[in-house]
Amino acid sequence: MLHGLPGAPAADAAGEDALAVPRSSMRRRRIGILVAAMLIAPFVPLDLLLPHGGWVAAVGLTWVAALALGGIAQRVGHPGASAIGLAAGVVASIGATAAKVTLTGGSESLFFGLLFALAPTVALVAPELPLACAGAGVVALVVGILIRRAEGRSGVDVGYWALLEVGIVGLALFTAALARRQMAQLLRLEHERQQTTRELADSRIQRLQLEHLAELGRLAAVVSHEVNNPLAAIQANLAYLVEAPDAPAPERSEVLRDTAQAVQRIAGTIAQLRRLSVANASPSEEDGSRS
């Protein structure tokens, strides 16, 4: 009965709403990773101008390819492939940064500062995955410490650099936590909006049902009036014919004529109801009645 009324909620609305946030999350990841790949790609030819330029360019090209594949892998309904693609992008970023730093001068390299950017970048692309952000920060911290220790830097120098990296990683994790809180709030608001929409739809359906029942009540009253009057006349005429079987023929003819008119009046009321029912019936109901 509810399916025939306008405004009934679709059966799969809840399923679509449940996928809204994962879909937006995957879209953000995909866009972020692909944008990073597009930003790195133009610098690959310039890597040829640096010391060990061929190796540096090969590392950059591999980095871009890994990011591109990781971005393409971010799809709704494929959590395993998405996680692998994101992990590949993070690992490729760490490995490429470490390789470029090692090939182009260690801590004096132009790329050494990228170690600081790894954790914030992961937090920006995937704030819902704090472990990925923390993992990128820890690996960047270890790589930086090893490079500076291999260069013979003092313990104070290494400790100061490590403290900076820890602070940046902590800030990235804090930012990711704020982003997750905002996402949770948006999700809650969206669910509340959907719940309100469903309640309004249910209220509209109930109102239509009440109006339909009220209309049926009025129609039943009219039908009762239109049928009871001729039915009473029929009953009175039949009682007269039973009680006065020897009544004159003209009187009997008049009584039978009045009875026939009452029957026709009832038949007319029923025919009018049938036409009204067909006019208000849905297409499926009409097809069922015809068959």
Amino acid at the residue 114 = L
State the pLDDT at residue 22.
60
Angle at CA of residue 144, ends 140 and 148, nearest 5°: 175
Q: Locate tokens 């009871």: which residue?
A: 228
Specify the 3-state DSSP secondary structure of 153: coil
Using alpha carbons, list the distances in angstroms from residue 102 to 5, 60, 215. 70, 13, 84
Closest CA to 67 of 141, 121, 22, 21: 121
Delimit the domains of the chain by residue range: 14-194, 244-291
Greater confidence, 80 or 19? 80
Q: Is the pLDDT of residue 12 over 70?
A: no
What is the pLDDT averaged over residues 205-221?
84
State the pLDDT at residue 9.
41
The pLDDT tens digits of the residues spanning 32-87 come to 889 989 988 998 998 888 888 899 999 999 999 999 998 888 887 787 888 888 88
The least confident of 97-101, 106-110, 124-128, 247-251 is 247-251
Cα separation of the two ends of the chain: 20
Q: How confident is the model at residue 291 (pLDDT cuts 50, 70, 90)?
A: very low
pTM to 2 decimal places? 0.57
Q: Is the separation of the CB atoms in 118 and 137 below 8 Å?
A: yes
